[in-house]
Amino acid sequence: MTGTPGAAATRDSETPQRSPPCSPSYDLTGKNKVVTVDGARVKLQIWDTAGQERFRSVTHAYYRDAQALLLLYDITNKSSFDNIRAWLTEIHEYAQRDVVIMLLGNKADVSSERVIRSEDGEMLAREYGVPFMETSAKTGMNVELAFLAIAKELKHRAGQQADEPSFQIRDYVESQKKRPSCCSFL
């Protein structure tokens, strides 16, 4: 995961990827993750642009064919949040038109160093019409949910019948997500 486009998920393919530079508890870099959705197994192949954001041609290759993109910022780092708009513009230009995007404010466990309010993340997500939640790769808060929501959306799209109500990923995330237990002063 990165402070910028985090994970690109594609389904049912092989050959990951690279080793993570660090090992938070829920690091998933370079792994396939299988998520069970309504009894069906959905395999997510996860790619992390980690540390290569300055090489634009590299990151284009990462997300050009992705079906889903997790955009991460660090709630203790304002510039990571400010970069999100640029990434959304970039994604709009280069990613697949119907790519599933999710905005994640990571490091929610370190509320004492928080500089980005949860409401700011929510407002940005609303502006771009994408689901949002705060996560912690350290404690695992909302990490499984992020992948489950992506898997549900992709599975739903793959098997959607004409008369079936569409899956609303934003509503699902809002109903399931955990909020950080400790309130900050912001």
Ligand X SMILES: Nc1nc2c(ncn2[C@@H]2O[C@H](COP(=O)(O)OP(=O)(O)OP(=O)(O)O)[C@@H](O)[C@H]2O)c(=O)[nH]1
Chain residues in the site for ligand X (CB under 6 A): 1-3, 21-22, 24, 50-51, 106-107, 109-110, 136-138
CB of residue 183 to ligand X, shortest distance in Å? 18
CB of residue 153 to ligand X, shortest distance in Å? 23
Q: Which residue is nearest to ligand X (CB)?
A: 50
Q: Which is nearer to ligand X, 112 or 166 (CB)?
A: 112
Long-range contacts at 84-87 (CB < 8 A, ≥ 24 apart): 84/4, 84/124, 85/124, 87/4, 87/5
CB of residue 158 to ligand X, shortest distance in Å? 29
Buried (b) or exposed (e) across 95-121, using 16+ Cβ within 10 A?
beeebbbbbbbbbbbebeebebebebb
Q: 98: which 2 tokens?
A: 């119907």
Q: Which is nearer to ligand X, 21 or 159 (CB)?
A: 21
CB of residue 47 to ligand X, shortest distance in Å? 12
Q: Which is nearer to ligand X, 37 or 145 (CB)?
A: 145
Give the C-alpha separation, 20 to 1, whole Å: 9
